[in-house]
Amino acid sequence: MKVENSSVYMASQREFISRDEKQETLRVWVDPPQGKGSGEKITISAEAKCLAGECEPDEDVIENNLTSDAKMTLKALLAEILSGKKFRILDISEYQGNTEEAAITEGNGNAEAPQNQRQGWGISYDKTEAHYEKESVSFVAAGVIKTSDNKEIKFALELDMQREYASYESFSFRAGDAKLTDPLVINFNGTAAELSDVRFSFDLNSDGLDEDVPLLKPVSGFLVFDINNDGVVNNGSELFGPRTGNGFNELAMHDIDANNWIDENDPVYSQLYVWTMDEMGGQSLSSLKQRGIGAIYTGNVATMFDMKEAGNELLGRIVRTGIYVNEGGTAGTIQQLDLAV
């Protein structure tokens, strides 16, 4: 082919989208002292406490020890993030031989160390990174070619190129104890709250990130304040307790007539629901009226009780217990349940 003359048109269009998202969350916590909130006060001398083996170190010593552990763990965590390598914190006591251990065993006889005892502090770090790219190019060409032998060739073509890429990376670090977060739960059939080994994803801390929350057994349900009246439990801000750490105090703030009961005299009553869920993911949101609950007493007492799974790992802790009264005159219990998340 010998081209004598031609007329050619070409054009292209390109579209490129790139998006990056990064989120980091660091939580550090220390368990509050246990046993507070009881209505009874007993005075015991310092000497008696020591004789009973209950001497307590100064608070500043406890804080310093906890802070030291937390700082060391954070340093290791940051070193891992910056270097991409794993670091292990060594406890020198692991390499000091068995002499001290043997002496302790002989001196204590059959005494055993407590299993899975909480350390009283915890650290959680979560990091997620997401990257997305989309690129597309369109090419078109058209023209006329006239050859030396008087042939005319018309042509037109289109070409599309496109690609799409997405990546997601996540990193999580945990040290110390699981964070305890305490919603209020309503119990039915005269039983206490019970937890299943099954967990479900829910933003209990209202920080935009879902936690793995132990599932309540059917004998109990979470007490819900449907703030925006949408009929949905959006996050932990609609439960009593996760925001302040004291669900009973939050509930008592809605006792408008100050009669120590949340009842139909209080506007909040019509916005209170009981949220239940089964192991298949089915959910139910019932109003207090539908449940036959007439009034909830705002008073409560300490009932510290650990709830553990078969392997003795902590699922939750019942901290305080109160009561409610049904329209039929029977009574039930409401409990502050600290969930390990």
Instruction: Give the whole-number percent of the chain exceeding pLDDT 90.
Output: 28
The answer to whether residues 337 and 186 touch, using CB atoms and an 8 Å cutoff, is no
DSSP characters over 219-264 = TEEEEEE-TT-SSS--SGGGBSSTTTS-HHHHHHTT-TT-SSEEST
Query: pLDDT confidence of 315, banded at 50, 70, 90?
Result: confident
Q: Is residue 10 located within the same domain as residue 90?
A: yes
**Residue 217 gets which letter from DSSP?**
P
Q: Is residue 307 located within the same domain as residue 221?
A: yes
Q: Is residue 162 located within the same domain as residue 189?
A: no
pTM equals: 0.52
Count H helices, E strands: the chain? 5, 15
**Is pLDDT above 90 for 47?**
no
The winner for highest mean pLDDT among 48-57, 208-217, 318-327 is 318-327
Range name among 24-33, 114-123, 126-135, 221-230 with the lowest pLDDT average:
114-123
Last residue of a domain, one of 112, 142, 177: 177
Instruction: Give the whole-number percent of the chain exceeding pLDDT 70.
Output: 70
**Is pLDDT above 70 for 108?**
no
Q: What is the pLDDT of residues 289-306, one digit of tens each?
A: 999 999 999 999 999 888
**Is pLDDT above 70 for 127?**
yes
* Residue type, position 158, single letter: E
Q: Is residue 209 located within the same domain as residue 299?
A: yes
**Is pLDDT above 90 for 49?**
no
Q: Is residue 165 located within the same domain as residue 20?
A: yes
Q: Is residue 279 located within the same domain as residue 158?
A: no
Q: Give the tokens for residue 120.
A: 């009283």
Domain residues for 189? 178-340
Give how far Cα 72 sits from Cα of 68, 87, 93, 176, Å. Answer: 6, 11, 16, 12
Query: pLDDT confidence of 60, banded at 50, 70, 90?
Result: very low
Q: Is residue 15 located within the same domain as residue 83?
A: yes
Q: For 101-107, what is the mean pLDDT? A: 38
Q: What pLDDT does residue 222 have? A: 92
**Is pLDDT above 80 for 159?**
yes
Q: What pLDDT does residue 20 have? A: 92
Cα 199 from Cα 216, distance rounded (Å): 9
Last residue of a domain, one of 142, 177, 212: 177
- Total number of domains in the chain: 2
Q: Is residue 60 located within the same domain as residue 130?
A: yes
How much of the chain is in helix, strand and coil states, percent to nearest 5? 20, 45, 35
**Is pLDDT above 60 for 228?**
yes
Q: Is residue 119 located within the same domain as residue 29?
A: yes
Q: Is residue 163 located within the same domain as residue 309?
A: no
Q: Is residue 316 located within the same domain as residue 275?
A: yes
Give how far Cα 130 sits from Cα of 23, 133, 188, 249, 280, Å. Answer: 9, 10, 44, 40, 30
Cα 11 from Cα 158, distance rounded (Å): 10
Q: What pLDDT does residue 312 have? A: 77
Q: Is residue 261 located within the same domain as residue 153?
A: no
Question: Torsion angle of alpha carbons 293, 298, 300, 305, nearest 10°?
Answer: 60
Last residue of a domain, one of 177, 208, 227: 177
**Is pLDDT above 60 for 246?**
yes
Q: For 262-278, what is the mean pLDDT? A: 92
